[in-house]
Structure 1
């Protein structure tokens, strides 16, 4: 299993970096749209759709919705304040607050959505659509002035999330004693959680010095900590839905890693939350 995980990582990391730095905003948006369609395909299991044809149609519907949104905004990358973009990011904040409550009160909270396919589909849209616009908005950051500025920001969020996750794992292994959310994800501990936030703070400082991001360190730190918190919530939320669906992995697309959602669950929360705070709340545009 470890061998497959390493091979997949060595293959995927260069592809992700190449997509970030080599594709123009529209090309990057299309690639992100395909990733979101694959995520929607896997979310079908969480929504109770077990047949392949139903999940295919769910993926197609997701792609159609995102494509319509994208094509109605031909100049979307010039203005973060366009209603569809800004609205999606604001909705994301509300959704992840609601998701926090669902996780905190699980399994009791599952009584609200357990028997409703429609509600679980809405949860999927609230997860995937803002993730799409968060990715697109960050990639388009000052694109007219510097084609790589947005790529650096997105790379930062990915490093932040992966670093915080690694820090949480190491701190949890070394010091973990108290369970963070035993009814959702028994392996996570409070010590690991705090270690992950500490790692995120270190990454925020180091990346700010190295990359010269032209953002106040205090603003970057606040956005980074909230993004790290959101990444943990994204992971826990997917674990909650997988537990309710009775599955271990969201899919088998990536050898050794599971499905697309298993790889981007933290990013689905961290990216739109970070983008919303940085671009809309603090107005760093």
Structure 2
């Protein structure tokens, strides 16, 4: 299992980085759209759709909704102040606040949404749609002046999430004693959580030294810490829904890594939260 995970990671990471820096905005949007449709397909299990045809329709409808939203934008410009994007990013802030309460109160919180398919579908839309717009908005950051400015920001967020996850795993294995959320994800510990946060801060420091992230240090650290915390919440939230659905992995599309949602669960929270803080709260434009 570990060998296949490492092989897959070594193959996927260069492809992701190449997509960030080499694809034009439209190509990047289409790739992100496909990822979101696959995520919607997997979310169908969380919503209680057992049949393949129902989940296919869910993925198609999610894709059509995102395409419709894109066509309502003027000339493929993804300004954060456009209503479609701003509302999506603010909705992410609200949703992940609600998700935090759901995780903290689980399994008691599940009594309010366990039997409601519309609510579970809404949770999926609030996870996938803001993630889509967070990805596109960060990629478009100062695109006219520098085609790679947004790619650096997205790479930064991804490294934060990967670093937090790796740091949490290593510190948890070495020092983990106190469970973080035993009713949701028994393997996670407070020691691992703090180790992941420290790893994220180290990445932020190194990235600021060696890459063109020209924002005030207070802004960068604030966005970094909140995004790192959000990434943990995204992971815990997906674990909660998988536990309710009685499944270990969201899918099997990625050898050794499970499904698409298993790989982007932390990013679905970190990306829109980071984009909202950077671009709307701190106004870094």
Deviations 1:45-99 (A, max 9, x none): 0000010000000000000000000111133535210000011000000000000
Distance 1:261 1:277 in 2: 23
Contact 1:205 1:217 in 2 (8 A): no
Number of the residue aligned with 2:256:
256
Q: CA deviation at 1:8?
A: 1.2
Q: For residue 80 of structure 2, give the secondary structure of its aligned residue in structure 1.
A: coil
Q: TM-score, normalised by structure 2?
A: 0.98
Number of the residue aligned with 1:31:
31
Deviations 1:184-228 (A, max 9, x none): 000001111111111111111110111131101111011000000
Cα RMSD of the aligned pairs, angstroms, is 0.9
Number of the residue aligned with 1:196:
196
Number of the residue aligned with 2:148:
148
Distance 1:78 1:170 in 2: 38
Number of the residue aligned with 1:122:
122
Q: For residue 108 of structure 2, give the secondary structure of its aligned residue in structure 1.
A: coil
Distance 2:259 2:181 in 1: 23
Contact 2:184 2:243 in 1 (8 A): yes
Distance 2:136 2:79 in 1: 12
Contact 2:78 2:136 in 1 (8 A): no
Number of the residue aligned with 1:44:
44
Number of the residue aligned with 2:96:
96
Contact 2:234 2:265 in 1 (8 A): yes
Moved over 4 A (4+): none
Q: CA deviation at 1:10?
A: 1.9
Distance 1:276 1:170 in 2: 30
Distance 2:75 2:104 in 1: 40
Number of the residue aligned with 2:75:
75
Distance 2:19 2:2 in 1: 25
In the alignment, structure 1 residue 265 sits paired with structure 2 residue 275? no
Q: TM-score, normalised by structure 1?
A: 0.98
Distance 1:261 1:37 in 2: 11
In the alignment, structure 1 residue 105 sits paired with structure 2 residue 119? no
Contact 2:78 2:137 in 1 (8 A): no
Q: 1:119 to 1:78 in 2, by over 3 A?
A: closer
Distance 1:277 1:77 in 2: 20
Distance 1:58 1:8 in 2: 27
Gaps of 5+ in 1: none
Distance 1:77 1:218 in 2: 29
Contact 1:76 1:82 in 2 (8 A): no
Distance 1:237 1:229 in 2: 12
Q: For residue 75 of structure 1, give the secondary structure of its aligned residue in structure 2.
A: helix
Number of residue pairs the alignment of both structures matches: 285
Distance 1:89 1:251 in 2: 27
Q: CA deviation at 1:43?
A: 0.1
Distance 2:14 2:162 in 1: 15
Number of the residue aligned with 1:170:
170
